Amino acid sequence: MLGAYTTFVVQEYARTHAPGLFNYSLLIAVPLAFLVAGAVGVLIERTIIRFLYGRPLETLLATFGVSLVLQQAVRTIFGANNREVGAPSFMSGSFQLAGLEITYGRMWIIVFALVVFAALQALLRFTSFGLRMRAVTQNRRMASSMGIDTNRIDALAFGLGSGIAGMAGVALSQIDNVSPNLGQSYIIDSFMVVVFGGVGNLWGTLLGAATLGVANKFLEPFAGAVLGKIALLVFIILFIQKRPRGLFALKGRAVEA
């Protein structure tokens, strides 16, 4: 939601003060959305989430309350009505592929998602911050004993995830209504993807998202959108009975213990 509204603000500024920058508005909005959503994420982690680690029920209730506060704040600032976010010229139109008509906007969103995935994978694998974050995830006590500031890593990791969600808001502004309720419709899908793919594994997230997304679109013409979603939910419930850690379980002594 914050990423989508950041895109709206950038485009409004471009329309008013620099019309020539409109075609580059999404490129400008992506890093800004990351910074805005990431900063809010760090603030939430430092002021609320850090006091609730190990208490999942309280964390769930607290984050739900924070989401309501954020939605109301956006309503107060921007109003409750949907906001218009335009598409740059390179995302307009469509093309034919194997008898299907695919819009350039959705194609570029898929490319953008793959680029973010590759960048995040590189960050986790080839940087000092990624090494520390993986260490804290796999064995928090050992990481702390090796001199890693686990509280700082918690805040940065939460901010990183929030920032990526903000960038997702930039992409969603092209295919969904920019409103205070933008993020609500994706909560269940996000949980299903994480549970199915395996917590903490990016490849599991990619495969889980692709599998569930394709399966959902195949089910919709026969069962409808609601029944199709219910069928997938039932499948995941049965699946985690056999593989509680998902397709790709996170490895590590502390995790496995």
What is the tens place of the pLDDT at every residue in 231-254?
A: 888 888 888 888 877 777 666 555
| pLDDT (tens digit per residue) in 87-143 | 888 888 888 877 778 888 888 999 999 999 999 999 999 999 999 998 998 888 899
In the three-class reduction of DSSP (H, G, I as helix; E, B as strand; rest coil), residue 252 is classed as coil
Residues 188 and 173 in one domain: no
Residues 178 and 225 in one domain: no
Measured CA to CA, the distance from residue 10 to residue 179 in angstroms comes to: 16
Q: Could you tell me if 211 and 196 are in contact, meaning their C-beta atoms sit under 8 angstroms apart?
A: yes
Measure the CA dihedral 165/255/134/63, to 10°.
Answer: 30
Residues 9 and 65 in one domain: yes
Q: Which of 151, 167, 182 is the last residue of a domain?
A: 182
Measured CA to CA, the distance from residue 210 to residue 74 in angstroms comes to: 31
In this prediction, residue 3 has a pLDDT band, given cuts at 50, 70 and 90, of: very high
- For position 119, what pLDDT does the model report? 94
Looking at the structure of the chain, the number of domains it has is 2
Q: Which of 149, 167, 182 is the last residue of a domain?
A: 182
Its pTM stands at 0.86
Residues 177 and 73 in one domain: yes
- What domain range includes position 191? 183-257
Measured CA to CA, the distance from residue 233 to residue 247 in angstroms comes to: 16
Q: Could you tell me if 193 and 243 are in contact, meaning their C-beta atoms sit under 8 angstroms apart?
A: no
Residues 45 and 65 in one domain: yes
Q: Which of 159, 182, 205 is the last residue of a domain?
A: 182
Q: Which of 248, 226, 230 is nearest to 238 (CA)?
A: 230
Residues 49 and 32 in one domain: yes
Contact residues for 194 (Cβ-Cβ < 8 A; gap 6+) = 205, 208, 246
| pLDDT (tens digit per residue) in 149-203 | 999 999 999 999 999 999 999 999 988 888 998 888 788 888 888 888 877 778 8
User: 157 vs 53, which has greater pLDDT?
Assistant: 157
In this prediction, residue 77 has a pLDDT band, given cuts at 50, 70 and 90, of: very high
Residues 97 and 35 in one domain: yes
Measured CA to CA, the distance from residue 152 to residue 156 in angstroms comes to: 6
Strands (E), the chain: 94-97, 100-103
Q: Could you tell me if 156 and 129 are in contact, meaning their C-beta atoms sit under 8 angstroms apart?
A: yes
Measured CA to CA, the distance from residue 38 to residue 44 in angstroms comes to: 10
Residues 177 and 188 in one domain: no
| pLDDT (tens digit per residue) in 16-40 | 888 888 888 899 999 999 999 999 9
As a whole number of Å, the end-to-end CA separation of the chain is: 37
- For position 249, what pLDDT does the model report? 66
Residues 247 and 171 in one domain: no
- For position 170, what pLDDT does the model report? 93
Measured CA to CA, the distance from residue 37 to residue 231 in angstroms comes to: 33
Residues 131 and 165 in one domain: yes
Residues 117 and 189 in one domain: no
- For position 70, what pLDDT does the model report? 92
Q: Is 22 exposed, middle or buried (0-12, 13-18, 19+ CB in 10 A)?
A: middle
Residues 249 and 223 in one domain: yes
Contact residues for 184 (Cβ-Cβ < 8 A; gap 6+) = 67
- For position 239, what pLDDT does the model report? 83
**Helix 56-78, helix 2-17: angle, nearest 10:** 20
Lowest mean pLDDT among 58-62, 76-80, 219-223: 219-223
